[in-house]
Structures are given as C-alpha cells and as structure tokens.
Amino acid sequence: MPDAVLDDPGFPAARERFWTAALTDERYRENRAAVAERDGDVIGIAMSGPPPDAVAAWTRQLHVLYVYATEHGTGAGQALLRAVIDPAESAALWVADPNPRAQAFYRKHGFVSDGTIRVEGGVREIRMVRDVRAPSPAR
C-alpha cells in the first residue's frame, strides 16, 4: 500500500469504522474473522465473506489477511487463511501487485491469477482464485 495512504491522518479512524461495521453490523453476519496471537499480542488478522457478486464462481472472498513481517514463515498466515476459508471451499482474493511474497503464499494454497486487474486508491491489484474442483498446483 502506498505510504500516502498509510500516512493519511484519517486512515486509523477509517479502519476503525471498517472493523466496527465488519464485526457488529448484521449485514456482515456471514463474514468470518480471526486473529493470530503470540504471547498475548495480535500478530495477524484475517476476514472472509460471501463473494460480492451473487453469480461469482467461488463461495468465499478473502477480504483481509495481514501478518506482521516478523511473523512471516511461522505458520500464522496459513492458520489465519484456514480459519476464515475452509480448504474445501472455492475462493477469490485481491492481492497487491507487485507483491511476490504474498502472491507466492496464495499460490502455495491453490490460488492462481485469473488475469483480472484493478486499481483502487492508487494500489494495483490482481485477482487470484482457487477452484477446489481443479487439481492443486505442484508443491
């Protein structure tokens, strides 16, 4: 995410409003949220929900998966992903591009780019999808 977005003085309040709605508003009751902790400190968060498009080819949409860089490679990301999207569910997500580490993580978990690109808030993203009916990529 560009520094300009993160440095915006209104960013923390906007994220607080987002999470308050995501966790309490009845409209989002089908969302699944999870946190990863180490020694009582939050080290990662994840959230998924139904796809925004009723005719989507997948059953879940990953909206958020963040893990502190110091926790990369510890299994926290994998645990969070499994907590909000069952491995047997087809799913989609948007990931910043370029972001080779995150894209490799999602490929390891069966997601592939479907060629769809969007730019929102100055961030270029690609869509990755996992079709559980398709064979898993070699690991």
Neighbouring residues of 59: CB distance < 8 A, sequence distance ≥ 6: 50, 51, 89, 90, 91
Residue 44 to residue 76: CA distance in whole angstroms:
7
pTM metric for this prediction: 0.87
Neighbouring residues of 56: CB distance < 8 A, sequence distance ≥ 6: 92
Q: So what's the pLDDT on residue 5? A: 77
pLDDT tens figures, 70-106: 999 999 999 999 999 999 999 999 999 999 999 999 9
Neighbouring residues of 49: CB distance < 8 A, sequence distance ≥ 6: 28, 30, 31, 32, 60, 61, 63
- pLDDT higher than 50, residue 139: no
pLDDT band at 124 (very low <50, low <70, confident <90, very high): very high
User: What number is the average pLDDT over the span 44-69?
Assistant: 95
pLDDT tens figures, 38-54: 999 999 999 999 999 88
**Cβ contact 42:36 at 8 Å:** yes
- Largest Cα–Cα distance of the chain, in whole Å? 45
CATH number for the domain whose boundaries are 31-130: 3.40.630.30
Residue 57 to residue 32: CA distance in whole angstroms:
19
Q: So what's the pLDDT on residue 116? A: 97
First-to-final CA distance of the chain: 29
Six token digits for residue 49? 């929900």
Neighbouring residues of 12: CB distance < 8 A, sequence distance ≥ 6: none
Q: So what's the pLDDT on residue 6? A: 78
